[in-house]
Structure 1
């Protein structure tokens, strides 16, 4: 996932099916897929992603120049369609466009309250006295709350998006929420008994 404009982690898969499984578990910001892969091709992967996800940026690489692939890619909101061999310059141009689109979809920073900013690209929380350290799990929890700000986020969503579908006890989540609350200050995170948690920005309209 991109943690800064040109930073982040890179994951690879040997075939299309395992690539789709990795997408579902890791939720990357950018997917680069080839038209011709064992098990499932790049367009099929893109179709699966687009069933529920319009935000992840997708780059397709191929040795083919058939217009039917280009047209299909356009319908799937593909950021770039690259014909192999792909040069370093072409790849970086495609990635730059992906980052620009991601930044347009999701702003860099969110003002949680006056003087308290969270930047989702650099994973930093900054207060009036400087940076406030967050753990990786606290960052993930905060980003889930920001995504659905003003709404109650159910326990199942935390389990899916933060714990990647693995078992998460309510006590474990509660402990992380308690630690996050102490760092955010105030009552930004509200509890909804037996349902989940909600993030309330001090001025919701400023963060839409």
Structure 2
């Protein structure tokens, strides 16, 4: 990758927040240094359980994780995270190169798999692939139709200069839908991510979307027949 491409990649990553999970102290320190060359905010966790707690308490754009860790391994953590956010990019660092582990990670929708030992170039190569499919951003802002935009840092929905007041569930919905430009999110995925309980009732997802459409006065959220829902993005 030439210097111009590296600068472009840094620009795309600099506003992103990263969760990095690794139990080996020396590996974690060295890898975190490499990640901070691109990401301004890198949160470190030393096992899968701590990583999951960090994820629940904060908002992240990327996750990098080891597989074999105490208390909760990487695959268990990823499975729990996927129930809350099906599309956040996740990259695995691992010494395992067996078919069994590759298949397990594929099932979890992993964005990248980097074999240990690794270096700077392997991380850059994965980042280059991931940023190409992220929603279009202008700074921390995700742009949509009708002048709407989502401020990721503050979790605010605005139209031009006017902030739209959202309920807790509505904010959680936008946080999910803005996590991927390409993905269509099913009702089940939305229900798990938005409602913090064990109930199963798709009607409340439809009711939430209906109230939101009335509040916004436009179909900012597109219904895809037989599949689910996605945002109507601004195409620049």
Same fold (TM over 0.5): yes
DSSP 3-state at the match of 2:12? coil
Task: Find runs of 4+ consecutive structure 1 residues off by over 2 angstroms.
Answer: 106-113, 116-120, 152-162, 195-208
Residues 66-77 of structure 1 mapped to structure 2, 5 A cutoff: 66-77=98-109
Q: Is the 8 A contact 1:15 1:38 kept in 2?
A: yes
Matching residue of 2:22? none
Matching residue of 2:167? 154
Relative distance call for 1:49 and 1:90 in structure 2 (3 A) is same
Is 1:90 the equivalent of 2:122?
Answer: yes
**Deviation at residue 107 of structure 1 after TM alignment:** 3.8
Q: Is the 8 A contact 2:150 2:157 kept in 1?
A: no
Residues 52-201 of structure 1 mapped to structure 2, 5 A cutoff: 52-101=84-133, 103=134, 106-108=135-137, 109-111=142-144, 113=146, 116=147, 118=149, 137=154, 140-142=155-157, 153-158=166-171, 198-200=215-217
CA RMSD of aligned residues (A): 3.7
Residues 21-36 of structure 1 mapped to structure 2, 5 A cutoff: 21-36=53-68
CA distance in structure 1 between the aligned counterparts of 2:14 and 2:80, rounded to whole angstroms? 26
Question: TM-score, normalization: structure 1?
Answer: 0.57
CA distance in structure 2 between the aligned counterparts of 1:95 and 1:76, rounded to whole angstroms? 18
Q: Is the 8 A contact 2:91 2:113 kept in 1?
A: yes
CA distance in structure 1 between the aligned counterparts of 2:172 and 2:221, rounded to whole angstroms? 26
